Amino acid sequence: MANYKLSIITANGEVFNGQVESLVASGELGSFGILSDHAPLVTSLCGGPLTITQNGKKNYFAVSSGILEVNDQNNVLLLADFAKKVNTIDEAKTEGFTNDGK
């Protein structure tokens, strides 16, 4: 599977920067996924889990509301008030809602 660059940035700095195969995030209208060569897009995020696949392994992040941009150069930028790497999807679900920048 092809990779693309993902950067996750909060007000406190960069949380993640690397090549990923895919991501699944929570948007205003439900969950959505991004694969390599996705069409350019700007969308808002809801607080909740973010799952990224990197080298075939799933990694989880708790993310507050924010904005995700896919540009025409196959780069994805996620800006959020809060983002933190966690061990499980259940932690990501809990942390993303309780730490929504408040």
Q: What 8-state DSSP symbol labels residue 87? A: S
pLDDT of amino acid 97: 53
pLDDT of residue 92: 82
C-alpha 89/C-alpha 16 separation (Å) is 17
CATH class for the domain made up of 4-98: mainly beta
Predicted TM-score (pTM) of the model is 0.87
Minimal CA–CA distance to 76: which of 35, 27, 26, 15?
A: 35
Q: How far apart are CA 11 and CA 29, in angstroms?
A: 25
How would residue 102 be classed by pLDDT, with cut points 50, 70 and 90?
very low
Residues 92, 84, 7, 66, CA torsion sign: positive
Domain boundaries, the chain: 4-98
Neighbours of 83 (CB within 10 A): 23
Phi, psi of 91 (to 5 degrees): -65, -40
Mean pLDDT within 86-98: 74
